[in-house]
Copies of this chain bind each other. A is one copy, B any other.
Amino acid sequence: MTTATANTPATHNALTTLFAAVQDAALLHSTANLLGWDQETMMPDGGAELRGRQLSQLARLAHEAFTAPKIGDLIAAAQEAVAGMPTDCADAVNVREIRRDYDKAVKLPASLVAEMALTASQAQHAWVVARRDSDFKKFQPWLEKIVKLNLQKAQCLGWPKGGEAWDALADYFEPALTAVEVTKVFEPLRARLQKLLDRIRGASKQPSNAFNEFALPVDSQEKFVRYMAKRIGFDFNCGRLDRSAHPFCGGSHCRDVRMTTRYSPTCVFDALGSTMHEAGHGMYEQGLDFAQAGLPMGSAAGLSVHESQSRMWENQVGRSMHFWKWARPQLSAFFGDACDHFTLVHLYQAANVVEPGFIRVESDEATYNMHVMIRFQLERDMLNGNVAIKDLPGVWNKMYKEYLGVTVPDDRRGCLQDVHWSMGMIGYFPTYTLGTLLAAQLFEKARKDVPGLEEGFNRGEFAPLLSWLRKNVHSEGRRYRLDELCRKVTGAPLSADPMMRHLEAKLLPLYGLE
C-alpha cells in the first residue's frame, strides 16, 4: 500500500467521489426523516399504511446505496488518500467514520433494514392509539416484533466478548457504549440521587408548586414558548415548532430542523421545558456544518452529546434564577396580568420543585435519571429474555414503586409514555443520563470560559453560551467520541460530580437543607 500525499489530484478525486456517494445515500435518509416528522405531526390516519411502505423503501434504497461494493472500494482508496494527513483533520475524520458506519452496515441484510423501517412506522402508529386508549395490549404484539427484530439486528452486528445484545444496539446511539459501562455510572449515581431525594423528602421547607398548577390558554402558551425558543437562539428560518403526542426534534437536515412540543392547559412549564429541551437539540443541529451535510463531520457526535445540549438549555438555563429574572417580565406580553401574582421566587421554585412522578419528560432534575435507569434495566431484560413483553406493564409499575415510590395509575402514564421503543430504538435511553452529566460538566467550563455568562441571562442574552457551544461542540461534528470531547473541552473525563454539585447547589437551599 502506498501512502498518497495529501491534496494531489488523485487524493482529491478519491475523497470527493466517496463523499458525494455517501452524501447521496444520506440524502435519502434526510427525506425519510422528513417523512418521519410528518407522520408524527401532520399525517392523517389514512396515510399510515403507505407511509410505512414509503419509509421502508427509503431505508432499503439508502442501505443499498451505502453498502454497494463500489463504496467499499472508494473507502479503501480514500483511506490511502488520507493516510498522510493529521488524523483529526476533517477529511480523515470523515473517512474514519464512514469506514466505521460501512463495516457495520454491510453486516445487515437490506431486507432486515427495510422490515425494521416498515415495522417502526406501523408500530409508532399503533403506539399512538394504544397510548391514547391507555391499553398496552394494543401495542404488545408490535413491541414483541420490535424486540425480535432488534435481536436479529444485534446478532448480525455482533458484540465484544463479555458483552450482550444491548451493546450492539446502543452503539448506534453512542459509539462503543456497553451495558457494563452504563451500569458503572448508574449504580453509584442512583445511590447519590437516592440520598439527595431522601434528604429532600425529610425537609421541612417546601417550595411553592402553585405555578405548576396554574391554567393558561394553550394558544398563548404556544406563542410564549415560540418566542422563548427564538430568544435562546433557535433559528426559525431553518426550522419549525409544531405539536406531537411526544415532543421530539427531527427534520431533514441542519437547515430544516423540525421540533415539536405538547401543551398542558394547566402547566405552561410542560411546554416551556420540552421546547427549551428540543430547541437545545435543534440548535445543535443548526450549528452543524451545512457544507458537510450527510458526512460525519456534518453530523452530531452521538446522542449523549446531543442530550447534553438539550438538557443544558432545559436545566442549566431554563430552570435558573438568572433566566427567570429575565423571563418573568416577558410573561405579561403573552398572558396579560394573569401571572402577576406569581413572584420571581414563586416561578423559580415551581421550576425546580422535586416531586417524584410518572412521566420522564415532565420530571424534575433530581428524579429524571431514575426514569432513565428503569428504562435501561428493562431494555436489557427484554432483550435477554428476563422480562416477557406481556409482563412489561407490571414490571414497569413495580420498578416505579421501587425507584421513585410512586404508584403508576395506568399504562398511558406507565410503560406507554415514551415513543422510542415504538420507533424501533432500543439502547437509546442511557444517553439521556450521560448527556445530563455532560451538560453540567460543559456548563461549569463555559461559566469559567465566559465571564458574566449567567448574569447575561438576566438580560435575555443567550448568544455567548450558544457561541461557546458552537465553537466547542457543534462545529466538531463526529471528530471526537463522547469521552474524548469531554476531556478535550473540560480537561477531565465524564463525571457525575458536576451534576451533583449543580443539583445540590440549587436544591439544598430551596428545601432549607444547607
Distance in Å: Cβ of A359 to nearest Cβ of chain B: 28
CA distance A239 to B51 in the complex (A): 13
CA distance A252 to B43 in the complex (A): 10
Task: Tell me if A123 counts as interface (CB < 8 A to partner B).
Answer: no
Task: Tell me if A444 counts as interface (CB < 8 A to partner B).
Answer: no
Distance in Å: Cβ of A191 to nearest Cβ of chain B: 46
Contacts of A44 in B (CB 8 A): 236-240, 255-256
Q: Are A252 and B54 in contact (CB under 8 A)?
A: yes
Contact A256 B46, CB 8 Å, known A30-B54, A54-B27, A57-B28: yes
Tell me how many chains of this kind the complex includes: 2
Task: Tell me if A38 counts as interface (CB < 8 A to partner B).
Answer: yes
Contacts of A57 in B (CB 8 A): 24, 27-28, 31
Contacts of A50 in B (CB 8 A): 27, 30, 252-253, 255-256, 293
User: Residue A256 contacts which of B43, B236, B240, B252 (CB distance < 8 angstroms)?
Assistant: B43
When C-beta atoms are compared, the residue in chain B nearest to A57 turns out to be B27
Q: Are A46 and B238 in contact (CB under 8 A)?
A: yes
When C-beta atoms are compared, the residue in chain B nearest to A255 turns out to be B46
Task: Tell me if A336 counts as interface (CB < 8 A to partner B).
Answer: no
User: Residue A53 contacts which of B27, B53, B239 (CB distance < 8 angstroms)?
Assistant: B27
Contacts of A47 in B (CB 8 A): 238, 252-253, 255-256
Task: Tell me if A216 counts as interface (CB < 8 A to partner B).
Answer: no
Contacts of A98 in B (CB 8 A): none
10 A/B residue pairs, CB under 8 Å, sorted by A: A27-B53, A31-B54, A34-B35, A34-B54, A38-B38, A46-B235, A46-B256, A49-B255, A50-B293, A54-B252
Further contacts, 16 of them, CB under 8 A, given A46-B255, A46-B256: A24-B57, A31-B57, A31-B58, A44-B238, A44-B239, A45-B238, A46-B235, A46-B238, A47-B238, A49-B255, A50-B252, A50-B253, A50-B255, A50-B256, A54-B252, A61-B61
